[in-house]
Amino acid sequence: MTGPEQGSTAPSDKEQSPFTKPGFIASAVGIGLIAVLGGAVVLTGGSGEEGKKTSSSASSAPNASRSAPSSDPPPSKASSCPTLKDSDTEEASVLDLRATGLSWKEFGPLNLPSSQRSGPAVTKGQVARCFAHTPRGAVLALANVSIRSANGPDWRDVITQQVYPDDAQAVYEQTVAANRSGSSADFPPEFGLPQLAGYKLVSYSTDSAVVDFVFQTPGGKVMSMLLTARWHEGDWKQKMAMNGGQTEVASSKDSTDGYVLFPSG
């Protein structure tokens, strides 16, 4: 798959587009059965089940995703983050990520989007934090946290610092630990895994954002997943699902039509 015409200029070897390297999701099993983002959400391909969603329809997902957990943590002091230049809170701003100085940064064998204007502004070890309090900041935060929280040697640090601290956080950590227990590898095999392809902002407010991401498999199948971010302690934190995964809403698609494709290098 090739990037859209609005792609950024060619990055260096350290800033490759994910389209130049296979393998962007946490794990994959077999040919027709793909476990996505930590193995918690399963999509089936090559059968009559292909068009079904794993739970309620996407149209009802935003309200469910944005509902407060049963025991919200109390407000606390903002984290120490530098001021970012992205201050555009218009939802339409997500249509052009290249305006934020987007590049691709290596994370083990994977590549993750990074922006000079929208974040992450601070990267220490495996934790990349401090995203702009804007729609573009939320998109980039979810693209990073969703991958970093299930891959790499320091995934627990990411969960502790960048996953929204409620009951689902602990359940998600247990799920990732269980999925990784049978392997000594810090990253999934590079061959044959889905790649991050594009996104669609479903809803945005000052304290919550829901983004529909699409991933493309080497076999040409397209999958979508609704991920949720919550603004907490001065940064975007990913809100996990109580089923132990990153979402309760996933589906297969005919194509990436209707989604904003990530700028490629």
Does residue 110 surpass a pLDDT of 70?
Answer: yes
Q: State the pLDDT confidence band at 238, using cuts at 50, 70 and 90.
A: very high
235 versus 186: the higher-pLDDT residue is: 235
State how far the Cα of 261 lies from the Cα of 265, in Å rounded to an integer.
Answer: 12
- Domain count of the fold of the chain: 1
Give dist(CA 249, CA 247) in Å, integer: 5
Residue 37: its pLDDT value, please? Answer: 46
Is the residue at 151 inside a domain? yes
| pLDDT over threshold 90, residue 61 | no
pLDDT computed for residue 220 by the predictor: 80
Tokens standing for residue 149: 């929280």
Radius of gyration of the chain (CA): 17
- Note down the domain range covering 61: 18-66+78-261
Crossing angle of the two packed helices 155-162 and 135-148, in degrees rounded to 10: 150
The answer for 208, left when phi > 0, alpha when psi is -120 to 50, beta otherwise, is beta
Q: 36-45, 104-113, 162-171, 250-259: which range is least confident on average?
A: 36-45
Residue 21 reports pLDDT greater than 50: no
Mean pLDDT in residue range 179-199: 73
Q: Cβ contacts of residue 242 below 8 Å, gap of 6+?
A: 167, 168, 171, 248
Amino acid at 82: P
What is the residue-averaged pLDDT of the chain?
A: 75
Q: How confident is the model at residue 189 (pLDDT cuts 50, 70, 90)?
A: low
In a domain, 5, yes or no: no
- On whether residue 59 sits in a domain, the answer given is yes
What local confidence, expressed as pLDDT, does residue 145 receive?
96
